[in-house]
Chain A
Amino acid sequence: MNETAQPIQSVVVIENLSFSYNGRPALTDVTAHINHCDFVSIVGPNGGGKTTLLKLMLGLISPARGSIKVFGKSPVKARPEVGYVPQHFHFDTQFPITVKDVVLMGRLCNVSCIGKFKASDKAIAARVLEEVELSHIANRPFSDLSGGQRQRVLIARALATEPKMLLLDEPTAHVDIAAQKDLYDFLEQLNKKLTVVMVTHDIGFVAPFITSVLCVNNTVAMHPTRQITGQIISELYGHEVQFVSHDDSACPHPSNCEHCQSLQREIDIASKRDTETGGDHA
C-alpha cells in the first residue's frame, strides 16, 4: 500500500530497544518502524513479547535500553493521538454501564473536564457509534452484548479520542468468524485515514490489506507482505490471501519464528492441494 516512493511519514520509530522483566529479557535489540497509514499485524508465540511491544508503544512501560518514539514524541506524550482497544473479554461482566457511557470514556480528561460531558463530546460519541453501526444499542448495557459487538464498542471508544493511530490487542479473540470478517472490513476502511496496529494471536493467512507483519519472538523481524497469485488458494479460502515472504528480508530468527513456520506449513499444505504451485515463495 505504501511501498511506492511517496514521502513516508514515520509514526512509530523503535531503535535498538531492549526490555526485560526482572532480568528476564522480553525484547532484545529491536529496531522497527511503522509508517503513516500502515496496517501492521504483530504476530508471534505467546510470551514472545507482543504485549510488551504494545505496552511500550503506549508508554505503560519504558525501555531499559534503546528508544521508542511515537509521532516523534515519547509514547506518554503521544497518548492523546493513540487510540487503544484492549481485549474485550477482560471486563467485569457485572459492571453497570451502557454502551454510550463506555464510548464517552474516550472523551475523558484528567481535571479540566469535571462534571458533565459537553454537548460536543456527546456529539462525537454519537458519531463514532454511528460509524461502528451500533447507534441502535447505545443505551443497552455493555455486558449484554456479544463479543463482536463489545469489540466494536471498544473500537468506537478508541475512535472517540480522535486518534491518528489505532492500537488493537487481539481484536478477533473470542469473536465468531462472521464478526471477524466484519471487523477486518471495518478496520480496512479506517486504515484509509489512520495507521492501524494490531496484535493477533494466530491469523493463519494474513489478510490482504495488511501492509506489514511484525514477527515478535524476543527479537522482532519486520516483513512486507506479498500477494499470492494462486487462483485456487483464493477460492479455497474464499478471499484473497497474502503471505509473509522471507526471501528478501533478513529474518533474524527464521528457524525459531513459530508464526513464520506455521505460515509456511499452511502455504505448503495449500500448495499440495493445488497441482500448480501457489505463488513465489522461496
Chain B
Amino acid sequence: MLEFFEALGSFRFLQYALITGLLASIACGVVGSYVVTRRISYVAGAIAHFILGGMGAAKYLNIVHGWTWLEPLHGAIISAFAAALIIGLVSIKGKQREDTIIGALWAIGMAAGILFISQTPGYNEDLMSYLFGNILMVTTQDIWLIAALDVAVITIAILFYNQLLAVCFDEEFARLRGINVELYYLLLLILTAMTVVLLVTVVGIILVIALMTLPAAIAGHFTKSLGKMMILASGLSLLFTTSGLALSYGPNLPAGATIIIVAGVTYVVTMIFKGVKTRNRIVNK
C-alpha cells in the first residue's frame, strides 16, 4: 500500500488511474443508485457485455482498415448507446420479453467482439484489458473523454432528479402527472450506458455490474433518500477504486479484480452487520 503512495508522485499513469477512478466513482454512485432502486442491474450487465462488440469492431477497423481515429473507447460509447436504445424500445413496445432481449444482447455482443478481435492482428492482451479493465493504461485523451461523459451524466441526473425518482418509485403515478415515462426510462438507460462505458475503463466489461451495484446497495442500507444514497455510493465507489488500486500495486495484482474484491468484501460485511443489528432489534422488542 505504501509503495503505491510513494510511486504516485513519480508515475503519471498512476495519477491518471486515480483521476479516472475519481471521475468514474461520481457517475457510478449517482447512476448506480438509480439502477439498484429501479432494479435494472441486468440491463447494465447486458449493455456492458454488448460493448465488447463495439470495442472489438473499433479495434478491427483501426488496425485492419486504417481508421486510426477510431479508438476502442469510441466503439464502446456507440455500442453502449445502441444497446440502451434497443432494450429501451423493446421494453416500451412490449412486444418481446425484455429478459430474452437482454440475454441475447449480452451474448451477441460478446460473440461479435471475440470474432472481431480474432480477425485483428496483434496481441490478444487487448481482449483481457477489455474484459478486466486497464485502468493503468488510461491516456490523456481517454481522461478528457471520461471527464466529458462524467459531466454529462451528472448534469442530466441532477437536472431530472425528481422526474427520474418518480419514474423509479411509481411509474403509474408519474404517468398520471403528465410525465413522459417512456422517454425518462430511455434517458435512464442512456445514463446507464454512459456510466457503464466509464466503469469499463476502470474494471472492464465483466466486472462492471459489481462496481455499479455494490456501492449503491451498501449505501441503500444506511440512507433514507435517493439523493443521500447517491452521495454515499459515490464516496464508497471512490474508496473502493482507490484502495483497490493501492492494494494491487505492491504485489502486482490486477487492479480491476482487486477493486471488485474490496467492494464485495465490504458488501458482505455490511450485510452481516445489518443482519445482526436487525435480529438484535427484533430480540429487544
A residues in contact (CB < 8 Å) with B: 58, 60, 79-80, 82, 84, 86, 91-92, 94-98, 101-102, 104-106, 108-111, 113-117, 139-141, 157, 161
Rounded to whole angstroms, the CA-CA distance of A140 and B224 in the bound complex is 8
- Min Cβ gap B191→A in Å is 15
Rounded to whole angstroms, the CA-CA distance of A92 and B229 in the bound complex is 16
Known: A80-B178, A114-B163. 17 other contacts (CB 8 A): A79-B176, A79-B177, A79-B178, A84-B176, A91-B169, A92-B37, A96-B223, A96-B226, A96-B229, A97-B225, A98-B224, A101-B226, A104-B162, A110-B178, A113-B162, A114-B160, A139-B224
Contact B159 A115 (CB under 8 A): yes
- Min Cβ gap A80→B in Å is 7
**At the interface, yes or no: B6 with Cβ under 8 Å from chain A?**
no
* Most-contacted residue by chain A among B39, B178, B180 (CB, 10 A): B178
Rounded to whole angstroms, the CA-CA distance of A82 and B178 in the bound complex is 12
B contact residues around A115 at 8 Å (CB):
158-159
**At the interface, yes or no: B114 with Cβ under 8 Å from chain A?**
no
A contact residues around B160 at 8 Å (CB):
114
**At the interface, yes or no: B32 with Cβ under 8 Å from chain A?**
no
B contact residues around A106 at 8 Å (CB):
177
Partner of A97, one of B165, B177, B180: B165
**Would you list 10 pairs from A and B whose C-beta atoms are within 8 A, ordered by A residue?**
A60-B175, A82-B176, A96-B223, A105-B166, A105-B170, A105-B174, A108-B162, A108-B177, A108-B179, A110-B163
B residues in contact (CB < 8 Å) with A: 37, 39, 158-160, 162-163, 165-166, 168-170, 172-180, 220, 223-226, 228-229
B contact residues around A101 at 8 Å (CB):
165, 225-226
Rounded to whole angstroms, the CA-CA distance of A98 and B180 in the bound complex is 23
B contact residues around A58 at 8 Å (CB):
176
B contact residues around A139 at 8 Å (CB):
224
Closest 5 pairs between A and B when the two form their complex, measured CB to CB? A141-B224, A108-B177, A96-B229, A110-B179, A110-B178
- Min Cβ gap A264→B in Å is 35
Rounded to whole angstroms, the CA-CA distance of A108 and B177 in the bound complex is 6
Rounded to whole angstroms, the CA-CA distance of A257 and B55 in the bound complex is 63
- Min Cβ gap A141→B in Å is 4
B contact residues around A82 at 8 Å (CB):
176
Partner of B169, one of A79, A102, A113: A102
- Min Cβ gap B171→A in Å is 11
A contact residues around B169 at 8 Å (CB):
91-92, 95, 97, 102, 105
- Min Cβ gap A207→B in Å is 26
Contact B220 A105 (CB under 8 A): no
A contact residues around B177 at 8 Å (CB):
79, 105-106, 108-110, 161
Partner of A157, one of B158, B173, B180: B173
* Most-contacted residue by chain B among A86, A96, A105, A139 (CB, 10 A): A96
Rounded to whole angstroms, the CA-CA distance of A94 and B274 in the bound complex is 14
- Min Cβ gap A139→B in Å is 8
Given contacts A110-B180, A115-B159, contact A96 B175 (CB under 8 A): no
Rounded to whole angstroms, the CA-CA distance of A95 and B169 in the bound complex is 7
Nearest-CB residue, chain B, relative to A80: B178
Contact B224 A109 (CB under 8 A): no
Nearest-CB residue, chain A, relative to B177: A108
A contact residues around B223 at 8 Å (CB):
96
Contact B179 A96 (CB under 8 A): no
Rounded to whole angstroms, the CA-CA distance of A151 and B214 in the bound complex is 32
Rounded to whole angstroms, the CA-CA distance of A157 and B170 in the bound complex is 12
Contact B170 A108 (CB under 8 A): no
Partner of A95, one of B37, B162, B175, B179: B37
Rounded to whole angstroms, the CA-CA distance of A108 and B184 in the bound complex is 13
Rounded to whole angstroms, the CA-CA distance of A48 and B169 in the bound complex is 28
Rounded to whole angstroms, the CA-CA distance of A141 and B172 in the bound complex is 21
Rounded to whole angstroms, the CA-CA distance of A161 and B173 in the bound complex is 11
Rounded to whole angstroms, the CA-CA distance of A113 and B166 in the bound complex is 13
Rounded to whole angstroms, the CA-CA distance of A160 and B88 in the bound complex is 31
B contact residues around A91 at 8 Å (CB):
169-170
B contact residues around A94 at 8 Å (CB):
37, 220
